[in-house]
Amino acid sequence: MFYTENEHFTGPEYATLQRLAKQAGCQLEFVERPWVRALQELHQGKIDMLYSASRSPDREAYAQFSEPYRLEEFVLVTRQGEFNEAEIANLTSWLDGDPRRRFGVIRGYYYGVLNNDVLRDSKRAARSIEVRWDEQLLALLLHRRIDGYLLEAHVADKLSRLAKVQLNHLPDLKAESVRLMFSKSVDQTTVERFNAAILSEQKQPKGQASSPLNVQTVNAQAGN
């Protein structure tokens, strides 16, 4: 997750990316884009790298992927105290428990193998609202335009301290691996350096990093 303090990025995800980039001998330049536009610009070679991305067959046609660098788990965000345990036994039962129930999704976002199939089911499409940003989903929830949405657990933890929302950890919301996603215009050597940095991060104690190689610029954007 990224936070902004005094117009500077901070947060655990930002710190992880900077460590990986340092070990890979790269310098990151961060740009903010809606997820669909970010995917398009990666495809066009205008953006070099996206973080927290899921691997899928359609994306492999225009992108390269690193090794997994962490696990991503989703929670269902609802208004505080609105649903009981029986109503939120799992994602499917919550979605289909009331035909008037509406949920929000981010346009172009991939929620993992199981979650994506459930959320994008054509039978539920009329009850979903697509937006460009997480913040828009929160506003829709608080204004009662939607009844819930999925959000990464590490992002939702901070959200729960800022807004009156309930985070529901459902048994069918399984954790999945996320990767760095590179444009095919990025040379394979750079991808391999990031892979080496990821493996080093997983094996070595914190604070131990390999020496930087040559510096290259990588534009990064959040998403899945």
**61-111 residue pLDDT tens:** 999 999 999 998 999 999 999 998 889 999 999 999 999 999 999 988 888
* Crossing angle between the packed helical segments 12-24 and 188-203, to the nearest 10 degrees: 120
* CATH number for the domain running over 74-168: 3.40.190.10
**125-139 residue pLDDT tens:** 899 999 988 889 999
State the alpha helices, DSSP H only, in the chain. 12-24, 35-43, 57-60, 91-96, 113-119, 134-142, 153-162, 188-203
Start and end residues for every CATH 3.40.190.10 domain found in the chain = 3-71+178-220, 74-168
Average pLDDT over residues 12-36: 92
Beta bridge partner(s), residue 3: 10
Between CA 55 and CA 102 the distance in angstroms is 28
Of how many residues is the chain composed? Answer: 224
Burial class (CB in 10 A: 0-12, 13-18, 19+), 166: middle
Local confidence band at 223 (pLDDT 50, 70, 90 cut-offs): low
The domain made up of 3-71+178-220 has a fold known as D-Maltodextrin-Binding Protein; domain 2 (3.40.190)
Percent of the chain with pLDDT over 90: 55
As a whole number of Å, the CA-based R_g of the chain is 18
What pLDDT score was predicted for residue 205?
62
Cα 216 from chain centroid?
24
What pLDDT score was predicted for residue 51?
93
Long-range contacts of range 1-8, CB-CB < 8 Å, 24 or more positions apart? 1/152, 1/154, 1/155, 1/158, 2/222, 3/158
**SS3 state of residue 107:** coil
